[in-house]
Amino acid sequence: MLIFWKKNLTLLSVPKTGTTALEAALKPHADIIFSAPPELKHLPLYRYNRFLEKMFDAALGKTPETVAVIREPISWLGSWYRYRQRDELTGNPNSTKGISFDDFVQEYLKGKPEPFAVVGSQSKFLSGQTEQQQVDHLFRYEDMNSVIQFFQNRLGSAIDLPWLNKSTNQDLVLSKGVENRLRKKKAEDFALYEKAGSRNF
């Protein structure tokens, strides 16, 4: 998570949405940087509202606008699935080695999934404490050019985006039945993705 106090902006770091690369490009312009531990780097909106936003408001009389990137939900799950297939996780409960993408998503949809399918939810991450507390500027991962253009306009500086932590290429296709279950059970994630891009500038 990066805070650009002089520019009145906070970039929330939604996992698996390219924010590691984005933060690498934007760090030189940030006034406050949360890069570790993960609980602070990936602080969800409702916790940001509860702790940092209130602190900023009380101490300085203003709160920065929030910016976030959201990824198409199936692609987002695919990124988690690929990430957890890496060799160093072999034998770890978080590993997806030997597990099909269908089985991964079906496990994800359970009330208490196995560790390899515990990845959270983009819509929950981006939910504020109240309905009024929403992300001010929400972009799609698939339209990173608009994200860069936004920050260039607001920061007044050119941004060079290096692609870091990019998952290996792998075709991931869900069976129709599993996809339908996902769309029904995680409808809020798909709905939020559809809204992305409508609250940008």
pLDDT at 83: 95
Give the residues across from 32 on adjacent strands: 3
Query: Could you say which residues of the chain have pLDDT below 70?
Result: 129-130, 132, 163-171, 198-201
Domain ranges within the chain, ordered by starting residue: 2-195
- Whether this prediction's pTM lies above 0.85 is answered by yes
Strand bridging mode 2-4 / 32-33: antiparallel
Distance CA 39, CA 129 (A): 18
**Which pLDDT value is given to residue 15?**
94
**pLDDT tens-digit series, residues 7-55:** 999 999 999 998 888 999 999 999 999 988 888 899 999 999 888 887 8
Contact status, residue 56 vs residue 77, Cβ threshold 8 Å: no
- Which CATH fold would you assign to the domain 2-195? Rossmann fold (3.40.50)
Helix, strand, or coil (residue 58): helix
**Residue 192: both structure tokens together:** 């939020």
What DSSP string runs through 115-181? GGG----HHHHT--SSTT---SEEEEGGGHHHHHHHHHHHHTS-------SPPPP------HHHHHH
Res 201: pLDDT:
42
Q: What is the pLDDT of residue 93?
A: 96
Return the amino acid letter for 135: V
Question: Between the CA atoms of 85, 12, 69 and 186, what dihedral angle is there, to the nearest 10 degrees?
Answer: 70
Bridge partners (DSSP) of residue 139 are 69
Look at the block and give the residue holding tokens 């990430």: 83
CA angle, 35 as apex, 32 and 39 as ends, to 5°?
Answer: 110
- pLDDT for 172 equals 85
| CA dihedral (39, 187, 134, 145) positive or negative | positive
Residue 86 φ then ψ, to 5°:
-65, 150
Structure confidence at residue 156 (pLDDT): 94
What pLDDT does residue 20 have?
A: 87
User: Which pLDDT belongs to residue 161?
Assistant: 81
Q: How many helices (H) and strands (E) does the chain have?
A: 10, 5
Alpha helices in 43-143, H assignment, sequence order? 45-47, 54-60, 73-83, 101-108, 122-125
